[in-house]
Amino acid sequence: MEQTLLIIKPDAYKRKLVGKIITRIEREGFDIIRIALKSLTEEEAEILYEVHRGKDFFEPLILFMREAPVVALVVEGKDAVGRLREIVGKTNPDEAASDTIRALYGTSTGRNAVHAAESKEAFEMEVRVFFPDFKTTDSTDIFYS
């Protein structure tokens, strides 16, 4: 089993798409093992998107991520990182395969409804913004121990 992070972005939050997106995640068979609603500080938004610092879209992206709260979910499943990225779809909703979350709910390359960690390493860094004491060995087992 692998874990990854999904962030429901402010555009989707404001359009009241949180329930639809979580329903999709459950329908795909992922287990939700952490969930949080959070208003990001500037510093937290910058941690998430540090690799894009200096690009044209960096500052608008940081402002966008602070327009409204986000909902972060740690989800677990087989090949979770890659499979979630597939279900999320390409960055530009117009290029995303039909029935991906971004094709369904994104409205532009910037306002594309969700973020999914790109790698295990990215997940381990990003998860700490929302769940500082998260240990990557945690899994659904914690609910039964």
- 85 has binding-site annotation: yes
Hey, is 128 helix, strand or coil? helix
Catalytic positions are: 115
For the beta carbon of residue 28, count every other beta carbon within 10 angstroms.
Answer: 15
Nearer to ligand IDP, 18 or 139 (CB): 18
- 102 has binding-site annotation: yes
- Tell me the closest approach of the beta carbon of residue 140 to ligand IDP, in angstroms: 26
- Tell me the closest approach of the beta carbon of residue 61 to ligand IDP, in angstroms: 5
The site map against Mg ion for 72-111 (x = CB under 5 A) is: ----------------------------------------
C-alpha closest to that of 34 among 113, 126, 120, 102: 126
CA atoms within 13 A of residue 144's CA, in its CB half-sphere: 3
Q: How far is CA 1 from CA 15, 17, 101, 120, 136, in A?
A: 32, 27, 22, 12, 11
- Tell me the closest approach of the beta carbon of residue 115 to Mg ion, in angstroms: 7
Which of Mg ion, ligand IDP, none does 109 bind, CB closer than 5 to 8 A by kind? ligand IDP
- Show binding-site residues: 9, 57, 85, 91, 102, 112
Task: List residues binding Mg ion (CB under 5 A).
Answer: 118
